[in-house]
Amino acid sequence: PTVKEAKEMVALCKKAGVKLMVDLLAPGCHVYREPEKARALCEKLRGDDAVWGHAIWHDAIGKTAGGRTRDILNVRRWDPTHPVLCS
Protein backbone atom coordinates (compact mmCIF):
# COMPACT_ATOMS: atom_id res chain seq x y z
CA PRO A 1 0.00 0.00 0.00
CA THR A 2 0.97 3.62 -0.35
CA VAL A 3 1.50 5.66 2.82
CA LYS A 4 -1.99 7.16 2.39
CA GLU A 5 -3.59 3.72 1.92
CA ALA A 6 -1.69 2.37 4.92
CA LYS A 7 -2.97 5.21 7.10
CA GLU A 8 -6.53 4.30 6.07
CA MET A 9 -5.90 0.61 6.81
CA VAL A 10 -4.39 1.44 10.20
CA ALA A 11 -7.45 3.53 11.07
CA LEU A 12 -9.75 0.65 10.11
CA CYS A 13 -7.69 -1.81 12.14
CA LYS A 14 -7.80 0.44 15.19
CA LYS A 15 -11.56 0.78 14.84
CA ALA A 16 -11.98 -3.01 14.53
CA GLY A 17 -9.46 -3.80 17.27
CA VAL A 18 -7.21 -5.89 15.01
CA LYS A 19 -3.58 -5.58 13.90
CA LEU A 20 -2.30 -4.94 10.38
CA MET A 21 0.30 -7.09 8.61
CA VAL A 22 1.88 -4.77 6.05
CA ASP A 23 2.56 -6.42 2.67
CA LEU A 24 5.93 -5.12 1.46
CA LEU A 25 5.60 -7.00 -1.82
CA ALA A 26 2.63 -4.92 -2.95
CA PRO A 27 2.95 -2.47 -5.83
CA GLY A 28 3.76 0.98 -4.52
CA CYS A 29 5.93 -0.23 -1.63
CA HIS A 30 7.79 -3.31 -2.87
CA VAL A 31 10.77 -3.87 -0.60
CA TYR A 32 13.13 -4.76 -3.47
CA ARG A 33 11.72 -2.96 -6.51
CA GLU A 34 10.74 0.26 -4.71
CA PRO A 35 12.93 0.43 -1.59
CA GLU A 36 12.53 4.18 -1.07
CA LYS A 37 8.74 3.84 -1.00
CA ALA A 38 8.99 0.81 1.28
CA ARG A 39 11.29 2.77 3.58
CA ALA A 40 8.91 5.73 3.72
CA LEU A 41 6.03 3.42 4.61
CA CYS A 42 7.97 1.56 7.30
CA GLU A 43 9.20 4.78 8.86
CA LYS A 44 5.66 6.21 8.87
CA LEU A 45 4.29 3.10 10.62
CA ARG A 46 7.14 2.84 13.13
CA GLY A 47 5.77 2.40 16.65
CA ASP A 48 2.11 2.26 15.58
CA ASP A 49 0.19 -0.10 17.88
CA ALA A 50 -2.23 -1.10 15.10
CA VAL A 51 0.60 -2.65 13.06
CA TRP A 52 1.58 -6.27 13.79
CA GLY A 53 4.53 -6.42 11.40
CA HIS A 54 5.87 -6.39 7.86
CA ALA A 55 5.58 -9.33 5.45
CA ILE A 56 8.22 -9.91 2.77
CA TRP A 57 9.12 -12.79 0.49
CA HIS A 58 6.61 -15.66 0.50
CA ASP A 59 8.18 -18.17 -1.86
CA ALA A 60 10.94 -20.76 -2.10
CA ILE A 61 14.28 -19.39 -0.93
CA GLY A 62 16.46 -21.02 -3.59
CA LYS A 63 19.34 -18.68 -4.40
CA THR A 64 17.70 -15.60 -2.88
CA ALA A 65 19.08 -15.84 0.68
CA GLY A 66 21.41 -12.86 0.21
CA GLY A 67 18.62 -10.63 -1.08
CA ARG A 68 16.25 -11.72 1.65
CA THR A 69 18.84 -11.01 4.30
CA ARG A 70 19.37 -7.53 2.82
CA ASP A 71 15.62 -6.84 2.79
CA ILE A 72 15.06 -8.09 6.34
CA LEU A 73 17.91 -5.94 7.65
CA ASN A 74 16.61 -2.91 5.74
CA VAL A 75 13.07 -3.28 7.09
CA ARG A 76 14.37 -3.82 10.64
CA ARG A 77 16.44 -0.64 10.30
CA TRP A 78 13.51 1.35 8.88
CA ASP A 79 11.10 0.10 11.56
CA PRO A 80 12.73 -1.60 14.54
CA THR A 81 9.43 -1.61 16.45
CA HIS A 82 7.71 -4.38 14.43
CA PRO A 83 8.74 -7.91 13.37
CA VAL A 84 9.52 -8.89 9.77
CA LEU A 85 7.96 -12.08 8.38
CA CYS A 86 9.90 -13.91 5.68
CA SER A 87 8.48 -17.30 4.77
How confident is the model over 3-39, as pLDDT tens digits? Answer: 788 889 999 999 999 999 999 988 888 998 999 999 9
Does residue 86 surpass a pLDDT of 90? no
Q: What is the dihedral of CA 49, 35, 70, 75, to 10 degrees?
A: -10
**pTM of the shown model:** 0.84
User: What DSSP character marks residue 83?
Assistant: -
Residue 64's pLDDT is 64
pLDDT in tens, 49-85: 999 999 987 665 666 667 788 999 999 999 999 999 8
Q: What is the dihedral of CA 32, 36, 37, 42, to 10 degrees?
A: 90
Does residue 46 surpass a pLDDT of 90? yes
Are residues 76 and 58 in contact, defined by beta-carbon separation less than 8 angstroms?
no
- Report how far residue 73's alpha carbon sits from residue 80's, in angstroms, rounded to the nearest whole number: 10
